[in-house]
Structure 1
Amino acid sequence: MSAHPIDRPPQALSALMVQRDNAIAVDVLRDYTDLPAPTIVPRPYGVHVIVADIEELGDWLIERGGEIRISPQYDDVEVWTLHTATPALPDGSGAVVVRVSVVLPTGERVRDEIRAAVGRTVPSRHEVGGEE
C-alpha cells in the first residue's frame, strides 16, 4: 500500500485554508467567551454555528451583537439566524462572518431582548460598555 498526494488546484487549497482559518477564529472566540457552539460549519465566506435553543442564540446576541433574521415558516418551524462576526484585529481586518442559527416551532415564546434584534442591528455588550 502506498500513499499518493492528492492533487488539488491552488484555488481549492486556498478555499480550504480560509475555511480552516475561519473555524479557528470562531474556536478562539468560543474559548475566550465560553459561547455555546455545539455544531460549527466553516465555509470560505464565514462560519455557521447551530445552537440548541433560543437562549443560546441570545448568549451570542449579548456577546457579539448583530441582527436576527427569521426564515419563512415551513412545517410549523422557523429558523432564527443571528448575523454577527468575530472581533476584528486592531487594524480593522480579520473579522469573520458568523451566522448563529436555531430552529424554533412557529409561535414559540421568545424573550423581548432577543425579539428586539429581529430586523435591526443590536450592539454587543462591549459596544454598549465602550470596550471591544
Structure 2
Amino acid sequence: MLVRNTFLALVVLAYGGGAASVPGVADVVAGSTAAASSNITALKEVGLNIFGIEIGSRNQATVAWDSSLNPCSHFVPVAQPGAYECGRRFTISRQEGFTLEGCGGNMVIHQNGRLWGRCVRAIGHFACTNSATISTRLHCQQ
C-alpha cells in the first residue's frame, strides 16, 4: 500500500491535478499492478527524480526519510519538539550533509551548503506498529 500511495502522490505532483484527472490512477488505486508499471515508466520519461526526501513529524519532533522507504522504520531525526528545524544536518540513505532551509518561507533542502531540491506541501499519515504516527508535511525533490 505504501508503494501505491507514494506512486499516487508522485502522479499528482507530476501532473499538478487531482488523482481523478490523471489517466490510469484509478487502476492503481484499485490494485492493478499493470497500470502502475506503465505509469511509473511514463513518470520516469518526464524526468522525475526517483530519490525524494519527505519531511514530517513523529511525537512532535521533525523527522525526514527517503520517500521510497517505509517512514516507520527509516526515519531520521531532524529537530526535537519545539526546536528550530532549519540548518540542522541530517543523513538519509547514506547521503550526508542535508539541511532543511527556508523556514518561514519557501522550504528547500541543501546538501553540503548547496541547493539540493525544492519542497512542496504534502499531507499523509503513517500508523506505525509501535503506536507512533508519522505525519508528512513536505515532499522535497531535485
Q: Same fold (TM over 0.5)?
A: no
Larger helix share, 1 or 2: 1
Larger strand share, 1 or 2: 2
Q: TM-score, normalised by structure 2?
A: 0.28
Query: Which structure's relative contact order is higher, taking Cα pairs within 8 Å and 6+ residues apart?
Result: 1
